[in-house]
A and B are shown apart, each in its own frame.
Chain A
């Protein structure tokens, strides 16, 4: 299982999957993110590199990966890496986070499994406002 982007969501997901016993590799161009968000006990692999570079993806084991999750702060980066994972390497499960709802809709139509945190977040805030 490959996770691209070691921010808050990426690191939490990596830790949870690692604790469940999954074989996890996490990628980030900035190695400081690993120190910042991952505990000493993290058992997965940490790879410093840019996941829109297919050589980096191969190094992370994309050819044997069962799943790829794109969670960087950049929509375009996520979209590009996810399409490489899905269409070039044939990874069976690919999940891509996209903040821009319009872009999210377009890539969903193009066959990517997308997550739209902006829509979900807006709805949650609105519900919280209405409940208070």
Chain B
């Protein structure tokens, strides 16, 4: 595969290294001259100095024949534009953007970026189960704009004791399953009764997320 990487920081460097080791053809575009020289010294002549958001630079490195473009600079807006240039000017089949603000995940998806990776989200999803103030964990965003989220039903929630069929959830929100307190997964049967402490997995639209969180976690 021919893979173009925009941004030769820590993420870009180690991505390039791993991909070269797996015998892919890799080209890194890095704006900083000292940094690009450093990469060339370590990984060989696989780096081009320049602004990876510029179509002229992407053209010089043959982005038109790239199978994949990874935009991993530290700035969300630069990664967005690099991916959009790759998609719309060079028809790169698959673009991946690194993002810092987890809320940009849905935005980037809507703006045509194939896949986003956020260290912030990854870390949050590791610790959110421990944070009582964050009962909603986004698990996955589908290309259709739907998100798969997990919500912990708090003890004493209004919905505790209700059957799935009795819930009134926001439009376009569908329960995919429930994991009970003992860790046993349950199919989303209308007759299934929810209990506090259970995790419920729901497909929803980002704009319904807040309403969904409220519906499932409000107490009293």
User: A residues near B, CB below 8 A?
Assistant: 52-55, 74-77, 79-80, 83-84, 87-88, 100, 102-103, 106, 109-110
Measured between beta carbons, the chain B residues less than 8 angstroms from A100 are: 54
The interface on chain B, measured as residues whose beta carbon lies within 8 A of the other chain's beta carbons, has a size of 20
Contact between chains at A55 and B77 (CB < 8 Å): no
Task: Indicate which residue in B75, B101, B111 contacts A76 across the interface (CB closer than 8 Å).
Answer: B75
A interface, over-half SS: helix
The residue that B110 contacts in the complex, of A74, A79, A80, A87, with Cβ under 8 A, is A87
A103 touches B77 (CB 8 A): no
Binds A, one of B8-16, B81-89, B123-131, B163-171: B81-89
| In the assembled complex, B193 has its CB within 8 A of some CB on chain A | no
Can you identify 8 A-B contacts, CB atoms within 8 angstroms? A55-B103, A76-B53, A76-B77, A79-B77, A80-B81, A87-B110, A102-B54, A110-B84
Give B52 Cβ to nearest chain A Cβ, in Å: 11
The CA-CA distance from A8 to B101 in the complex, in Å, is 29
Q: From B55, B75, B80, B101, give the contact of A106 (CB < 8 A).
A: B55
A88 engages B107 (CB within 8 Å): yes
Q: Contact: A53 with B101, CB < 8 Å? A: yes
Bound Cα distance A60, B53 (Å):
28
Q: In the assembled complex, which residues on chain B have CB atoms less than 8 Å from the CB atom of A88? A: 107, 110
Query: B85 is contacted by which of A52, A83, A84, A106 (Cβ under 8 Å)?
Result: A106
